[in-house]
Structure 1
Amino acid sequence: MAEQTPELRTVVVERDIAQPPEKIWRALTQPHFIEEWLKMKPDFAAEVDRPYTMTAEWGAVEGRVLESDPFTTLSYTWSAFGLESVVTYTLTPSPRGTLLRVEQAGFPTTMEYAYQGARQAWPEYLAAIEQMLAGQP
């Protein structure tokens, strides 16, 4: 009998932010901004195939940039604690500024803790991005 693969789930969060896509792109790609909203120290550049590491007191996340279309789409793998997932940001101009959509895909049903953690964390991260950018020129 074949071994069954657990079903994979995805977390999707959207936030309409009163900032242009260019400012949100900087928040997602420039290390000093990433560190401010994600609370992790990144070795990151938005270059396709470039590996990165983000460190925090609790450990590290490693990955590789999959897609980098400035002001539109950023995607990278996210590997930590046995979870292999993909994070994709989509920036769409909106009447208010920019609709920022984040999708983290690849949560096995066997990793409920990681899935619930992401469901709680991403809205907080997007709020932190919005708050950080509100104070930027």
Structure 2
Amino acid sequence: MTETLSVVVERDIPYPPEKIWRALTQPHLLEEWLMKTDFQPNLGHRFKFSAEWGSVDCEILEIEPNRTLSYTWGDTRLKTTVTWTLTPTEKGTSLRMEQQGFREDQPRYYQGAKAGWPNFFANLEQLLASLN
């Protein structure tokens, strides 16, 4: 079996899981912090994220409102899975994102994800601060 790499970003965010869930699952909010999308929060739904550099194809694998969201993320060469885990805390939510499945012969994808996800998280936190 081939060894794969993962990118993990974790943050303690001072908002309840329900507020973060909205930002992870509502297309108009996803577009504000991540990318344009035709996302729908339904198990098995196929959707795309698109930006000026291109797009990625996705399919929802697991969805448990306010707790877990998992979907494939890839193109013709990349086959990864993004999993969001929301855990309530006294001060808000512990938010964890893991993108797993990068092969060792895909350093450009892996490095791009390592650089990109912290920026997306910063955008997400800015959006959350502006939401009611």
3-state SS, counterpart of residue 116 of structure 2: helix
After TM superposition, give the deviation of residue 81 of structure 1 in Å: 5.4
| Equivalent residue for 1:16, pick from 12, 18, 40 | 12
Tell me which residue corresponds to 1:89.
84
Q: What TM-score does the superposition give when structure 2 sets the normalisation length? A: 0.95
- Kindly tell me the number of residue pairs found equivalent between the two proteins: 132
Q: Where in structure 1 are there 5+ consecutive unaligned residues?
A: none
Q: One-letter code of the match for 1:55? A: S
Q: One-letter code of the match for 2:19? A: K
Q: One-letter code of the match for 2:20? A: I
1:1-137 correspondence runs (5 A): 6-38=2-34, 40-80=35-75, 82-137=77-132
The list of structure 1 runs, each at least 4 consecutive aligned residues, that deviate by more than 3 angstroms after superposition, is none
After TM superposition, give the deviation of residue 71 of structure 1 in Å: 0.1
After TM superposition, give the deviation of residue 27 of structure 1 in Å: 0.3
Q: What TM-score does the superposition give when structure 1 sets the normalisation length? A: 0.92
Structural RMSD (CA)? 1.1
Greater mean deviation of Cα atoms: 57-66 or 85-94: 57-66
Q: One-letter code of the match for 2:102? A: F
- Which one has a bigger Cα radius of gyration? 1
